[in-house]
Structure 1
Amino acid sequence: MSEQTDESRSGRPSRSGWRFLRDLAVIVVVALLASFLVKAYLVRAFSIPSGSMERTLLIGDNVLVNELVPGVVPLRRGDVVVFRDPGGWLTAEQGDDLIKRVIGLPGDHVSCCDARGRLSVNGHAVDEPYVVRPADVDRVSAEDFDVTVPAGRIWVMGDNRYESADSRIHGTVPTADVVGRAFVVTWPVTRWGVLGRYGDEWDAVPDPR
């Protein structure tokens, strides 16, 4: 039968016990630091303030936003993005941030509507299955428009197309004002899901000439 060490008899942790506690403390600190860095620089939570993105997003939904877009990861047509108010989009009571879908990138020619009520980007008509509109309306926008998106800016629209004050009213958004791309709904649990950009539709759009 082995003899107990002085540390064991005294009730103090052994050397291996101290190493375990030290390693555990390091793991906890690193995890907390990583969580802080992720929240501060990579991912941000955002709560949906209005019905302009219904049915894709409902009032009160919480989403996570990838803040690497557009600084590290480029914007793509179809992305759902959070952006700061460029000025005049919101009242003081409504907050500072908005969420819409990217329709046109810098240099894109965006127009609406064709004979089937669709918008076109660079001459390519886009089918938008996410658009909410009145049952008796076959156009994705009540207003006609024909614009070329300036350099350094994007054209954005809400999915609830007839209840969204977007680029049709306020004009384009500076890419510098984009906070990031919303990629998942986290709350409520019944609404959890990944936010798609409908790449099959948007990737068919040609680049501007």
Structure 2
Amino acid sequence: MEHRPGRGRGIAAIVLLVLGAVILGGVTVAKAVNPPARYTEGKQVGWTMTPTYTNGESIYLEPVAKGKLRRGDVVLASVPWSLQKTQMNRVVAVGGDRIQYKPSSKVAGQYRLVLNGTPLDEPYLEQWKYPSTVAFDVRVPKGHVFLMADNRLNSDGSQYANNGPVRADKIVSKVVAYPMAKMAVWGQLAGALLILGGGVLLAVARRARRRAPQPAAVAAQAPSAPVAPAAAGAVESAEAQEAAQGSQAPQGAQGGAAEAPAASGERADVQS
């Protein structure tokens, strides 16, 4: 079965148009319902967060809504133990949690912090067999967070008694891998490009259909098939038979006319 010219490109164009419309419409609606937070770009200073973030590495910062801090979040905070204005740390525990560590004891064969009685898994640590250089047992007050850097052997944090938990309002911003606002812009751009590509492909498919020859024109241009010799002989024989029959018909008519006077003569003799 032969396909019409441009059929494949037409189908691809429709797919691109639908996909682009879904992406563009979905991102636009999502932004309208839940506008993404504005972000800023910065750079990490120092080695306290290695290996997660190294010195001079670009970072993205988003504002933190009140009460939206979660365990494991990487934040930029104004902490009393840093000489800098702000320092990057990780939220290890939140208000109401109990966080503790004993260097002399192991949990499941490894040194781990214990959060609310459960060993805390911290795969982001470079030397994660030693999650702290000091022992501590702290109940985090409400409205506070327990902060520690990822480079535990070469950093300061809430684990030291002279530091302790930090008030949540001291959190300046949250460090994100990639800001939602930037992802939304890329999503809208991708949807628009898909729609544009689908429109171009659809125009190409329509042009290919117009240029393709129509079935009637193809039939008119097709040469007539030559008559086979046997068929031509049969036609000639039929014509010969018709000619012979036509030549015999006049003779029969003349014979009937010649006999007619004799018949009338016989009738005349009887009457006389």
Indicate the TM-score class for this superposition, using the shorter chain for normalisation: 0.5 to 0.7
Whole-Å separation in 2 of the counterparts to 1:83 and 1:70: 14
Q: Choose between structure 1 and 2: higher helix proportion.
A: 2
- 1:121 aligned residue (105, 115, 122): 115
Corresponding residue for 2:88?
A: 99
Whole-Å separation in 2 of the counterparts to 1:81 and 1:160: 15
- 1:90 aligned residue (82, 85, 88): 82
Unpaired stretches in structure 1, ≥5 consecutive residues? 1-37, 187-209
Corresponding residue for 2:171?
A: 178
TM-score, normalised via structure 1 length: 0.60
Pairwise CA RMSD of aligned residues?
2.1
Whole-Å separation in 1 of the counterparts to 2:132 and 2:145: 18
TM-score, normalised via structure 2 length: 0.47
- 2:131 aligned residue (140, 154, 165): 140
Corresponding residue for 1:28?
A: none
The answer to whether the 8 Å contact 2:125/2:150 transfers is yes
Whole-Å separation in 2 of the counterparts to 1:46 and 1:168: 27
Whole-Å separation in 2 of the counterparts to 1:70 and 1:118: 30
Whole-Å separation in 1 of the counterparts to 2:176 and 2:149: 16
Structure 1 counterpart of 2:131, one-letter code: V
Whole-Å separation in 2 of the counterparts to 1:102 and 1:145: 16
The answer to whether the 8 Å contact 1:83/1:179 transfers is yes
- 1:74 aligned residue (68, 77, 86): 68
TM-superposed deviation, 1:185: 6.8
The answer to whether the 8 Å contact 2:130/2:152 transfers is no
Equivalences for residues 192-207 of structure 1 within 5 A: none
Please identify the structure whose Cα radius of gyration is greater.
2
Unpaired stretches in structure 2, ≥5 consecutive residues? 1-34, 180-272
**Alpha-carbon distance change, 185 to 74 in structure 1, aligned in 2, over 3 angstroms:** closer
Q: Choose between structure 1 and 2: higher strand proportion.
A: 1
- 2:51 aligned residue (55, 60, 64): 55
Instruction: Using the aligned pairs only, state the percent identity.
Output: 29
Moved over 2 A (4+): none
The answer to whether the 8 Å contact 1:70/1:180 transfers is no
TM-superposed deviation, 1:105: 0.2
